[in-house]
Amino acid sequence: MDFRRLYLLLELSRLGSMREFAETHGLTTSTVSQQIAALARDVGTTLVEPDGRRVRLTPAGRRLADHAVTILAAVDTARSDLDPLTEPAGTLRVGGFATAIRRSLMPLVATLASTHPAVQVLINEYEPLEAFTLLAQDDLDLALTYDYNLAPAALGNTVAAVTLWSTPWGLGVPARSTSASPVPDLGAWADHPWIVNSRNTADEDAVRTLASLAGFSPRISHQIDSLDLVEDLILAGQGVGLLPLERETRPGVRVLELADPPVLMTTYAVTRLGRESWAPLRLLLDLLSSTGGPSGRDDGPGPSAGSRRR
């Protein structure tokens, strides 16, 4: 099998048009068609079929394109091993929640532009569930995700995850609350409305677990995507909810430590299994691992806030 034909199939799966692919890569449509036909003969099955004026991959073609990601990454790794002086080059598609992008990724973008100008980073903000879907579809190379110790993510066996950092979360309540204890009795908040995230289930799963351990079922009243709005609701006496313990809040909001059990949010760098050996991605993963986690919080979304956009 000619690996270059695998690359053609993978690019065709992304563009969906032989003409667009040919124009993008300076080839003729006939050349692209011949190479795909040759690859089909190599594997003994039809890989593309007409779809109006475009083409689409057959089920076998989609499966081979999925394999091509891992195969081509392995080829890149082998070439790198044989030529250690080769500079990483390529476009990295990174998606994740705002705090991880701001704290972990953005400081590295300038570094990469200076030290490895052939590596380009494209950044999009996504919730973990969105990012996992895009990763599975090969529309992302790297996902920055999070979960809670009380609501662990089911990563599955098709991805590889590197732990980046963890941070504690607490219960956000009105500062005028009658409770003077820094560690709350959650039962005291059983009758209050609860605020959870609107774009991810991790907050609600963690809240329901905490409430269950305290012997009540929370009344989920608000689903909010911004920590500022969560604070607005708390200040207005409209509910309580999880907030980052180390995030500075505005006057009138207290964040009480949760100790039994604690709530810990952990951030991960997630890739498709086998893809992490691709040289540009390996470079970024090494940089992310070496820089560690955020030294503090800013006014951006906190960990679950990854889910919470600003």
pTM to 2 decimal places: 0.68
- pLDDT number for residue 225: 80
pLDDT greater at residue 292 or residue 186: 186
Which amino acid is it at 3?
Answer: F
Residue 1 Cα distances to 7, 44, 45, 275, angstroms: 11, 11, 13, 20
Least confident of 95-104, 215-224, 274-283: 274-283
Mean pLDDT across 166-183: 81
For residues 159 and 69, the answer to whether their CB atoms sit within 8 Å is no
**Encoding tokens for residue 209?**
């677990």
Contacts of 160 (CB under 8 A, 6+ apart): 270, 271, 272, 273, 274, 275, 276
Q: Which CATH architecture has domain 3-82?
A: Orthogonal Bundle (1.10)
Q: What is the pLDDT of residues 76-119, one digit of tens each?
A: 777 766 665 667 888 999 999 988 999 999 999 989 999 999 89
Q: Is the link from the previous residue into 128 a cis peptide, with omega within 30 of 0?
A: no
- pLDDT number for residue 307: 40
- pLDDT number for residue 124: 95
CATH of domain 168-264: 3.40.190.10
pLDDT greater at residue 42 or residue 80: 42
For residues 225 and 308, the answer to whether their CB atoms sit within 8 Å is yes
Give CA–CA dist 116/213, Å, rounded. Answer: 50
- pLDDT number for residue 69: 87
What share of the chain in percent tops pLDDT 70?
Answer: 90
> Hey, where are the domains in the chain?
3-82, 90-165+265-306, 168-264
Q: What is the 3-state secondary structure of 205-241?
A: HHHHHHHHHHCCCCEEEEEECCHHHHHHHHHCCCCEE
Using only C-alpha atoms, what is the Rg of the chain?
24
- CA-nearest of 220, 196, 201, 213 to 262 is 213
Least confident of 2-16, 136-150, 171-185: 171-185
**In the predicted model, what is the mean pLDDT of the chain?**
85
Q: What is the pLDDT of residues 2-21, one digit of tens each?
A: 888 888 888 888 777 788 87
Mean pLDDT across 130-145: 92
Q: What is the pLDDT of residues 190-219, one digit of tens each?
A: 999 999 988 888 889 999 999 999 999 999
- The single-letter DSSP state of residue 157 is S
Q: Fold identical between 3-82 and 90-165+265-306?
A: no
Fold that domain 90-165+265-306 belongs to in CATH: D-Maltodextrin-Binding Protein; domain 2 (3.40.190)
Give CA–CA dist 131/139, Å, rounded. Answer: 9
